[in-house]
């Protein structure tokens, strides 16, 4: 097997749980996912099967989420699984929320939650948090491309947001920081990833529908559908050169990454400069 699966990660399972289940179903060890989701989160989880794991770095990594924020209370983890920290009975209007959201759009600096897997001095932040140890958390630059209100229940102070963002953005931090900006506090109660690069929730496959390796093979996605780089169709002689890791010369100029295609499948990833294309990763004829 060589390709991608667009899996719907259910609430309560980790991304690693999903990989473990797929390994049992497909009888394959070489499986990897392209973006971790917290256990309480759900939604799109792109999974790479076989040698397609070597293509992870070439996939688009922007994300889109629908997040539900409960205003009026903050927690240690910035989500529903944490302990309560601060409480407020202050009421806020949708106009006040919209005004506060303006500072969250574009390129911003974001402090990740202390309960996260980011490493500081070789140790994960949540390990410091669990031991009650203090550690300096540095902000990271992220890009919020789109941030809008989908719904606001002012009576219960429940806010639903749509967020398009760059890799590494913590939606939990947005919930917490927005609550702080409003002076009312807040935490994330639900998170659904609706898009990861070229993978969308409407096309997701549920784990319970994959009982056998044949089930997975039927919904396997050809990597060519999800990789948006120039593609060069190889002739028979060029194919043989590429299989041996040799460079080739194309009839037209390219710059940067080029996907080398044979018989509608990826044979290799090339790095081009003008008409010269060097092989960076070769997948072999068995993968096509």
Give rounded-to-5 percent helix, strand, coil for the chain. Answer: 25, 40, 30
Three-state SS at 259: strand
Contact in structure between 279 and 258 (CB atoms under 8 Å)? no
Instruction: Enter the tokens of residue 55.
Output: 């293509």
Considering the candidates 17, 38, 153, 203, report the single residue annotated as catalytic.
38
- Dist. CA 244–CA 99, nearest whole Å: 59
Structure tokens at 67: 């997040």
Among 71, 81, 42, CA closest to 152 = 71
Confirm whether 38 is a catalytic residue: yes
What secondary structure, in 3-state letters, does 167-232 show?
A: CCCCHHHHHHHHHHHHCCCEEEEEEEEEEECCEEHHHCEEHHHCCCHHHHHHCCECHHHCCCCCEE
Token pair for 142: 């992220």
H or E segment at 120?
strand 119-120
Report the catalytic residues: 38
């Amino acid at each position: 097997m060589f390709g991608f699966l667009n899996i719907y990660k259910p609430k309560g399972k980790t991304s690693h749980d999903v990989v473990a289940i797929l390994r049992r179903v497909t009888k394959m060890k070489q499986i990897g996912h392209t973006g971790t989701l917290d256990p309480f989160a759900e939604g799109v989880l792109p999974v790479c099967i076989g040698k397609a794991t070597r293509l992870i770095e070439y996939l688009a990594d922007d994300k889109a989420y629908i997040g539900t924020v409960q205003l009026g209370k903050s927690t240690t983890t910035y989500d529903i699984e944490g302990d309560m920290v601060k409480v407020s009975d202050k009421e806020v209007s949708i106009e006040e929320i919209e005004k506060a959201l303006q500072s969250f759009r574009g390129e911003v600096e974001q402090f990740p939650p202390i309960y996260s897997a980011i490493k500081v001095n070789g140790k994960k932040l949540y390990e410091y948090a669990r031991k009650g140890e203090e550690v300096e958390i540095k902000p990271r630059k992220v890009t919020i491309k789109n941030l809008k209100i989908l719904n606001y229940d002012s009576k219960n102070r429940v806010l639903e947001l749509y967020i398009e963002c760059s890799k590494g953005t913590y939606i939990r931090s947005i919930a917490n920081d927005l609550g702080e900006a409003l002076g009312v506090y807040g935490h994330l109660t639900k998170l659904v990833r609706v898009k990861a690069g070229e993978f969308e929730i409407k096309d997701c496959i549920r784990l319970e529908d994959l009982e056998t390796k044949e089930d997975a093979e039927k919904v396997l996605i050809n990597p060519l559908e999800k990789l948006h780089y120039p593609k060069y169709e190889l002739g028979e002689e060029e194919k043989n050169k590429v299989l041996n890791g040799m460079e080739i010369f194309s009839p037209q100029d390219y710059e940067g990454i080029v996907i080398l295609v044979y018989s509608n499948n990826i044979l290799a990833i090339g790095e081009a400069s003008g008409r010269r294309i060097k092989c960076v990763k070769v997948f072999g004829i068995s993968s096509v």
